[in-house]
Structures are given as C-alpha cells and as structure tokens.
Amino acid sequence: MSPPGRPKGEHRRAQPEGTPVNAPALIRALLYFAIWIVIDQSAKPANLAFGVLATAAATWVSLKLMPPEAGRVRLGALLTLLPRFLWQSLVAGVDVARRALSPAIPLQPGFVDYRPGLPRGSARLAFEAISSLLPGSVPTAETEQVIEYHALDLGQPVAEQLAAEEQAYSKALIPGQRHG
C-alpha cells in the first residue's frame, strides 16, 4: 500500500544507497565559505556566523540558477591543461599586441562557424572560455550545433586549432557521461 499522499505504484529513493544526497551543494558551500574566509580574513565569531549565512544563501542561489549536471572531470587531466592554458594565453597576448602595433601584418577579420562535439552546457561553456585564448579568436554566439567565433585572421587554420583544443579539453572529461 502506498503511503498517504503518494500515488500508487513503485517507489524508489531519489538517490542510490550510499550516494551523498547533496554532494554538489556541499562542494559549492565549501568553496563559497573558503572564498568568504579569503575575503574577510577574520576569525571573529560574528564574522564567521555571517559568513555561514552568506555561504548558505550563495549555495542556495547557485543551485537554483545553475543546477548540478551529470558528468565528471579527471582532475589530473584537467591540471595537465594548465601549462597549455598559460602558453595559449601568452601566445594570444603577444599575437594580438603584434598585430595591433604593426600595420604591416595583414588582417582578414571575419567569423568562423565551429561544430563542437560537446553538447550545450557547462562543459561546452568552459571549452568556449578556454578556446577564447587562441590567438585572435573569441566566441561570439552559439546554437545547439555551432559556436560562432570572431577571428582576426581567416587565413589562419582557426577551425583546426579549435578542434585540437576541444580534443585536449575532452581528455579531462570522463567518457560515457553527459557533460552538457
């Protein structure tokens, strides 16, 4: 017999046995509280109490505005992207500065449509942020199938560079899980 107020039929737990019920909320709360500690730099009880309240509010709002998604990342693989990320930032900065300061370097600005393998969602948004560090390219719009990039020089292999970046980034994602 079903408990009062519940429809008849099969009932099961929302979370499998042994699964932390609010792991995403706990992780976010810990990160927000750590940010609070860094900003406040005080261990006064009143400040910590206010920090706990601010953390709870920030966690609640973040869960409402950006619910947790399926998918996980390989932290080690993600950390291996750091040198690549830093290098791309340096190369992009030097390239754009060189183009801005030297009128002799030809520019062919325009738009490139890139078809990513990642579905729309946080993983794809993170890829867009990382790929914006490629020299002279910035994501400007997206649809379900395409990310539009503004490029400073259409003579460069922009789509090929984006594909290489996506492949490197995808190695940090755990295969077989949805990252959208």
Whether 150 and 111 have beta carbons less than 8 Å apart is answered as yes
Q: Are 96 and 109 in contact (CB under 8 A)?
A: no
Beta-sheet pairing, 110-114 with 137-142: unpaired
The number of residues in the chain equals 180
pLDDT of 160: 92
* Angstrom distance (rounded) from CA 111 to CA 138: 10
Cβ-contact 149, 162 below 8 angstroms: yes
Give the integer Cα–Cα distance in Å for 57 and 53. Answer: 6
Phi first, then psi: what are they for 114, rounded to 5°? -115, 130
Give pairs for 47-55: CB < 8 Å, separation 24+. 55/29
Going residue by residue through the chain, which has 180 residues, state the pLDDT in tens, using 9 for 90 and above.
445 554 454 444 444 555 455 777 888 899 899 988 888 887 788 888 999 999 999 999 988 887 776 566 666 777 777 888 888 788 888 888 888 888 888 788 999 999 999 888 778 888 898 888 777 889 999 998 999 999 988 988 899 989 988 988 887 765 445 544
Contact 153, 112 (CB under 8 A): no
The ranges assigned to domains in the chain are 23-65, 75-170
At residue 51's C-alpha, the angle toward residues 50 and 52, to 5°, is: 90
Give the whole-angstrom CA distance, residue 37 versus residue 158: 42
Model confidence, pTM: 0.57
